[in-house]
A = this chain, B = another copy of it.
Amino acid sequence: MADRESQVGPVSRRAVLGAAGAGLVVGGAVGAFGGYSASDAAEAGDDLTVPFRGDRQAGIVTAAQDRLHFASFDVITDSRDDLIDMLKRWTTAAERMTRGQETVDDGALGLGDYTPPADTGEALGLSPAHLTLTIGFGPGLFGPSLADPNRRDRFGIASRKPAALADLPAFAAEKIEPSRSYGDICIQACADDPQVAVHAIRNLARMGVGVVSVRWSQLGFGRTSATTRNQDTPRNMFGFKDGTANIRAEDTGTLDEHVWVAASDNPPAAQWMTGGTYLVARRIRMDIEPWDRANLLEQENIIGRTKGEGAPLGQTGEFDDPDFQITSGGAPLIPKTSHVRLAHPDQNNGVQILRRGYNFTDGSDGFGHLDAGLFFIAFNRDSFKQFVPMQHQLSRKDAMTEYLIPNASALFAVPPGLKDGEWWGQHLFT
């Protein structure tokens, strides 16, 4: 093992301790990089960690990591104290895991033979892999919602619910499955190594036993967004570049206008959301087999961009501005039913959203097709002024709709980042 430990690339602070047999094992500085690689999201020379605390939660404008595990939880207790206690324990564990440490300070293996290991162990030896853990609170936490219309205000926080936190409306042509929609709390785990993201969700779920229960979870194998200027634009399962015109971390003015909640957005009781944002999650199954039989012209007319370069039709470069005035044979070259036109700010009263979704493939559907698509995640300042009107327009007019089956939907309020010593949800519950 000495030889293996000397293969250190980026140093992990995860303890890899194994006393033969038994005994008290304490985590420490003995780190080993056990394999797996970091993605291009890594800046050369960094330590593969993303700071957990700050003005904003990490995982929003953080350079999009390659892999996702997203989980939505039902809160299954009526005890406010138990919920707060769990949120405090989650905060400690989450911060530790983003540093590449085991969940709690008892070392990788816990307090000895006769207790369960403190950490489930499958991330031992892995790097922090740019793990970010982002928490959001769903409408059901505050009272009745689509998740449970009969729910009471169990935690005495109904008055603190922001107006922009509500169930999303029904959209045209969707087939929402409640068993993988909604939820009281979400955790978005993003990392360059999927095992690090899965480990984080699993351990938070484990720590929440008796307080929360996993309602649904979703893995994403590949990012479909660039969220910083130095990231390349990835491709979605339609084979097109996705998110060319996305808001980037460097666009601070645009973020303030379209992503971050301002103090003026809410009354005093909901000021806990100031500096936060709202997360829209939509599982969008793609009918990839019919799509693959569509000819290139149809595909490009549906998207409004070329498939190879990703340039707006009529232009040559991916980042050229689309020109919606160009006509060809009397009709707009970028069709009126194209995605790029219908989603463009000019067609949506100037609103923009920050997209941060992932490609998924969940096996096959029993009918000979892959169950694949886009797990859409977007952040916006007020979904009912941004995502919802945009989605109404898209779902009714977008030619792409023919190839999409949105089958899960959720909205969560994502508070701002934590200062030193603060815990997840502190300003909501205190």
Contacts and interface: CB of A to CB of B under 8 A. Distances in A.
Contacts of A209: 289
A393 interface: no
A125 interface: yes
Given A205-B370, A308-B19, A124 B239 contact: yes
A363 interface: yes
A359 interface: yes
A18 B114 contact: no
Contacts of A36: 39-40, 66, 222
A109 B18 contact: no
Interface residue SS majority, chain A: loop
Given A37-B38, A295-B116, A364 B217 contact: yes
Interface residues of A, number: 103
A235 B7 CA distance: 18
B20 A361 contact: no
Interface stretch (A315-323, A338-346, A409-417): A315-323
Interface stretch (A190-198, A246-254, A347-355): A190-198
A6 to B, nearest CB: 12
A363 B294 contact: no
A202 B372 contact: yes
Given A124-B235, A180-B363, A109 B370 contact: no
A90 to B, nearest CB: 16
B195 A222 contact: yes
14 contacts: A1-B317, A16-B309, A20-B311, A36-B222, A37-B38, A113-B300, A122-B235, A195-B222, A195-B359, A198-B372, A202-B372, A213-B368, A217-B363, A219-B361
Shortest beta-carbon contacts, A-B, top 9: A18-B308, A121-B239, A18-B309, A213-B368, A113-B297, A194-B221, A195-B222, A35-B232, A20-B316
